[in-house]
A and B are shown apart, each in its own frame.
Chain A
């Protein structure tokens, strides 16, 4: 996983966000075993307690579930509950939409122009076989 950490926001919150992105983008699939705290922290180059906090938060949101592992007593896995993941996806999409609309409106475009620009862009990129 690639991690993008800024230091002016709490790191654990950023870890939660980026792990959620990994869940909804399919980098981590439902039912997948999640690497250990230690490995994830080393990968993100952050403190283990910070990563632990992030994982605990995801667990409390139901996105990660405890899983018995052959080797490790306490491992984690992605939840099998796809509805939860879909909900996250929707929320994420909504916040992207909010952000997008806000920015477009601040450029002075009205709602009609926004919609037509979006349609234009979508058809262009579809024909390019994206």
Chain B
């Protein structure tokens, strides 16, 4: 059953999102072409259209990332609490399956949108000095970590991003689940619930960091021990933050999921 849900959710979202990706692709290629022409001609003649194109692309990328997020939330609301709820809840599928499928597919698209941004930037930056410098900096940071654990670091980074996205999205879902308890103005109630939950989470996270800042475990070994080198201490800092936020995110993700599931299965209140 869940496999079928995945299939339908992917199909429906892909059919809505592909327009945006097509536009981004077109803009990127167009900008790059202008860029290449300008590099070869070495004149300032093409600067205005190039810059406009870049600006458009930038706006487009922002829209892509933003809209993906917004759509995920709106879809969840519509499917679980709004107009499509009747259909959703008559399918012989458990509530937790609905939530997991939607969460996974949404996280997938959000991450894809992020990757597309990075790819776009790389395409544009190819052949320019700025890109080379950024890449150098990144590889320095990574090589400051003991070689055998570099992969671990990268994995940790990726997982952090995934869980961070998932838990923040899950908080929206939970707010929607809380909002539907109200008989009127479910959407406004959801928004209010979101603000409330956000505040609670911020307080919680701040307290947590204050309490543990002195006792963060190091899980990676550094070549030269704790050094004063910028890249080393940078890596250590990033590592510890990632670890802690990762754990906190997982905790929140699970908690929000359980609350949402409980609300939508036991205390469902569809108009």
- Do A and B have CB atoms closer than 8 angstroms in the complex? no
Name B residues whose Cβ lies closer than 8 Å to a Cβ of A.
none
